[in-house]
Structure 1
Amino acid sequence: MGQTFTGLLRAVRARTGQGGGGTARPEPTAALRLCGDYLAGLAASGPMSDARQTRLVSAIGGLTTACGTDGDELFDALLRTGQRALEAGGETETRLALDIAVEATGLRSRSKGAWRLRGSALDALGRRDEAVEAYERHLALQQNPAAAEDIVRRIATLKDLEACLHEAAGLLPEADGTRLRALHNAPAGQARTAFAEVVRRHTAEGGGLADPGVRRLTTLYAAHRRLLDRDRMADPLLGGAEPLGVTALRRLVAGRSVCLVAGAPRIADEERVPGSALGKLIDGYDLVVRCDNLPAAGPRTDLHAVTLRGDTPWTGPVWNRRAGTRLVFGDPLPHWRRSLRARLVAGAQDRVGDASLRHPLDDPALLGEDGWGPRTGTAFTVLRLLDFLDAADRLDLIGFGLPGQLLPREREWVTARATHEDETEMRTTLR
């Protein structure tokens, strides 16, 4: 795997073998030893091609470097390594994440991050009862209820899974019921397959769906299967939010003045000043568009656009800032759907963009333009979409002349189509 990888493996081995005098500082020696074993296994398996494994190896390097440093820095590196192991997704990596989490909770029993990691690793391994206990330890330490909504939802999902199995077991002979209950603490694939086999057998033996017991068993299986794949939602209808497609979006902006406001700190600071010229300028538009991270409170947002990033975008913070319309850009489709279920908040929006709007730039049914890669910014994506719809009476950008707001190719596109630019107002007019 190369000299760098070999050097890292040697460094990990050296750390696990060090001893003697010096300052007594608790270090995750068991975790380091397990990381060394993991690196040795990778070295024996040949070249790495998985980006998630590469990030894990990098995190292990950071953990090794942090040994002997400040306790907080070392502990953060330990949790980061565990999280990267969990994100890697394989069984070996998930078990490594659990082992790291166990040591982390041993080192700091009041670390909410360590207990969350432990719960997530147990959950991924199908050890759901233990996962609930770890999640509840996390909740007991969590001071910010908003940051724990996903954990509360996950605990409810795990309890619903158990309730499905318990009720289904009551419809079966004792031996089958006992086996079915045991599936609650089995890996998802095993639970899915075994439950399906029980349903097939009892459907054939019980006279098919004409039997009320068989119908109920089938309903419980469907609910269990759905919950294995997706967490429950407190409000599946999201407070009555309407799905928004391309045609509905065009109607929303038709004949209206629209401004897209940059997320630069300078813009936000000036806009917050009571009676500021910039604030009055933005308030004069019919539709105000903002992108990605929104402040907890502040000026109005009529349309919020956000792009999903990373391997697990559904784990990001929820979108709880009020917006009339929310557009979520992302691919692939399963990740997009899961992210909407996990991060949308009931009552935080009136309309949600549907799947037809999730990747407008390269969708052949919409723009279908080549050359706009995954690094394309959210602001440019929504700008290009609104320009393509050709429905707004006026389309302006506020603050995008500032450095860092657009990528070079995006800026070239804007410059080529701008009809007016006012540096005093930081406004660029496209139409």
Structure 2
Amino acid sequence: MTNPLAGLFTARQKETARRELYARGLRLCGEHLAARGDRSAPRDARLTRAIGVLAASLDAPSADPFDALLQVGEYALEAGGDGLELALGVAGTATGIRQRSKGAWRLRGLALDGLGRDDEALECYGRCLALQQEGAPAGAVARRVGTLRRRRECLEEAAALFPGSGAALRDPTGRPTAAVAQEFAGHVRARVAEHGPGDPAVRRLLELYGTYRRLVERSVMPDPLLGGSTPIGVGGLRKLVAGRTVCLVSNAGEVAGSTLGAEIDAYDLVVRCDAFRIRAEGTGERTGLHAVSLRGDAPWEGPAWSQRAGVRLVFGDPAGAWRRATRERLVAGAQEHVGDATLRRPLSDPALLGEDRWGPGAGTAFTVLRLLDFLDVSPRLDLIGFDKPGRLRPAEAEWVMDRATHVDDSKMRIALR
């Protein structure tokens, strides 16, 4: 005879186990904060807020704290340092709560990867890919899997070149990436001293070491040519803009809720900025140029730029962060042209405008507007949706209004030509 209460008991047992796991996750967060002491940084502040959200969600009957738990792990990853250990603990808790969560397995893989535990990271990445076979997150994980496997292949081939002295490279299991890289460097120095740089095996060893070091610094690219996208500099951009009417569209809700879509699409070149949304009736549908500014300490970790655009300009400094972000966030085939390094900081670059007074916080819309105005090859240069205070910084808005030739409040339009 079936016990009618068996299902109820089982459900209660599962709920108790889940609560214990959440309590463990919160305890890990508390231990991390206690160990951190008085240290503070922007990344730590975001992590602290995320922990607060998690704690509040655990006491809300209608809330699901799982997403809050994953958010803590993401910010712990971002914080780096001892935050990686917290991210790993949180990820372990998350996979215990939901064993089929793609985000939890991805987080666990990233934490292990950051700690240099490649083999364990590969296993977690594999679990993530098995649960999600397509989409941008899966693509990023697949690239990371390819990177770790290629690193292992470099080590195996390097060890095989000198069988009697490459034992340390054959089995890197359990050792952090930094330690393996150090052993690889020592192996290379020893073989160069022993056989000389002219030895064919030594030359191949040096090549493998160079590849390994590059793969430690960054992941492989699925398509280095970005689906045929053409890099352009200042001259190339000038040619693409010359003689064309240009409209810079605000992301403001008033524009999306308007009926200006057809008028916007009638311009030769429609410019949009940062994370924009399309509502055909209000914003129009075409995007001839998409401009985006890199923000934060790790701008390469943001969402991919998958919106279709004719030209994509990425503004950012320093150069290293700009290179990494464009390498990791550009999507193959999503744009026909990509701005090169000569266009990454047009306002402050002495080879272009050289106007340091705008500072690093200049808005994306003003940066691309000032660049297009500087090129001075468009017969018409209009802004739509920038007529309200707050859409531009005060100094930027003042610059625009000083040069405006016409303002049409009914169309939210400011004309500079």
Structure 1 CA distance for aligned equivalents of residues 147 and 257 of structure 2: 41
Counterpart amino acid of residue 75 in structure 1: F
Aligned mate of 1:351, from 337, 352, 377: 337
CA distance 1:148–1:402, shift in 2 (3 Å): farther
Per-residue CA distance 1:207-235 (angstroms, 9 max, x = gap): 32x32211211111111111111110111
**Residues 168 and 217 in structure 1, CA contact (< 8 A), matched pair in contact too:** yes
Query: Is residue 332 of structure 1 aligned with residue 318 of structure 2?
Result: yes
Which residue is 1:129 aligned to?
A: 119
Aligned mate of 1:383, from 369, 374, 386: 369
**Residues 116 and 178 in structure 2, CA contact (< 8 A), matched pair in contact too:** no
Identity %: 57
Structure 2 CA distance for aligned equivalents of residues 32 and 409 of structure 1: 45
Which residue is 2:170 aligned to?
A: 181
Per-residue CA distance 1:234-261 (angstroms, 9 max, x = gap): 1112223222222322232223221112
Q: CA deviation at 1:70?
A: 4.1
CA distance 1:147–1:265, shift in 2 (3 Å): farther
SS in 1 for 2:292: strand
Map 1:266-415 → 2, pairs under 5 A: 266-268=254-256, 270=258, 278-295=260-277, 299-402=285-388, 404-415=390-401
Map 1:149-298 → 2, pairs under 5 A: 149-174=139-164, 176-183=165-172, 186-208=175-197, 210-268=198-256, 270=258, 278-295=260-277
Which residue is 1:120 aligned to?
A: 110
Aligned mate of 1:60, from 51, 72, 93: 51
Which residue is 2:65 aligned to?
A: 74
Q: CA deviation at 1:36?
A: 2.4
282-291 or 58-67: bigger deviation: 58-67
Per-residue CA distance 1:124-176 (angstroms, 9 max, x = gap): 001111111111222222375234211111111111111111111111224x3
Aligned mate of 2:19, from 26, 29, 46: 26
Q: CA deviation at 1:102?
A: 0.5
Q: CA deviation at 1:420?
A: 0.5
Structure 2 CA distance for aligned equivalents of residues 377 and 69 of structure 1: 39
Per-residue CA distance 1:40-72 (angstroms, 9 max, x = gap): 2222xxx32422223223322333333322475
Structure 1 CA distance for aligned equivalents of residues 168 and 19 of structure 2: 43
CA distance 1:330–1:399, shift in 2 (3 Å): same
Q: CA deviation at 1:411?
A: 2.1
Structure 2 CA distance for aligned equivalents of residues 185 and 310 of structure 1: 33
* Runs of 5+ unmatched residues, structure 1: 1-22, 272-277
Q: TM-score, normalised by structure 2?
A: 0.88
Q: CA deviation at 1:295?
A: 4.5
Q: CA deviation at 1:122?
A: 0.3
Q: CA deviation at 1:88?
A: 1.0
Counterpart amino acid of residue 216 in structure 1: R
Query: Is residue 99 of structure 1 aligned with residue 80 of structure 2?
Result: no
Query: Is residue 85 of structure 1 aligned with residue 69 of structure 2?
Result: no
Structure 2 CA distance for aligned equivalents of residues 72 and 198 of structure 1: 54
Q: How many residues align?
A: 397
Which residue is 1:39 aligned to?
A: 33
Structure 2 CA distance for aligned equivalents of residues 143 and 132 of structure 1: 16
Structure 1 CA distance for aligned equivalents of residues 126 and 60 of structure 2: 31
Per-residue CA distance 1:318-364 (angstroms, 9 max, x = gap): 22222221100112222111111111122222221111211222333
Q: CA deviation at 1:95?
A: 0.9
CA distance 1:144–1:310, shift in 2 (3 Å): farther
**Residues 306 and 334 in structure 2, CA contact (< 8 A), matched pair in contact too:** yes
Which residue is 1:7 aligned to?
A: none
Structure 2 CA distance for aligned equivalents of residues 38 and 328 of structure 1: 36
Structure 1 CA distance for aligned equivalents of residues 50 and 257 of structure 2: 36
Structure 2 CA distance for aligned equivalents of residues 154 and 417 of structure 1: 49
SS in 1 for 2:399: helix
189-198 or 329-338: bigger deviation: 189-198
Structure 2 CA distance for aligned equivalents of residues 104 and 241 of structure 1: 39
Counterpart amino acid of residue 186 in structure 1: R
Structure 1 CA distance for aligned equivalents of residues 206 and 63 of structure 2: 51
**Residues 43 and 78 in structure 2, CA contact (< 8 A), matched pair in contact too:** yes
CA distance 1:422–1:343, shift in 2 (3 Å): same
Structure 2 CA distance for aligned equivalents of residues 54 and 402 of structure 1: 32
Q: CA deviation at 1:403?
A: 6.1
* Runs of 5+ unmatched residues, structure 2: 1-14
Structure 2 CA distance for aligned equivalents of residues 195 and 268 of structure 1: 56
Structure 2 CA distance for aligned equivalents of residues 69 and 109 of structure 1: 23
CA distance 1:109–1:140, shift in 2 (3 Å): same
**Residues 118 and 177 in structure 2, CA contact (< 8 A), matched pair in contact too:** no
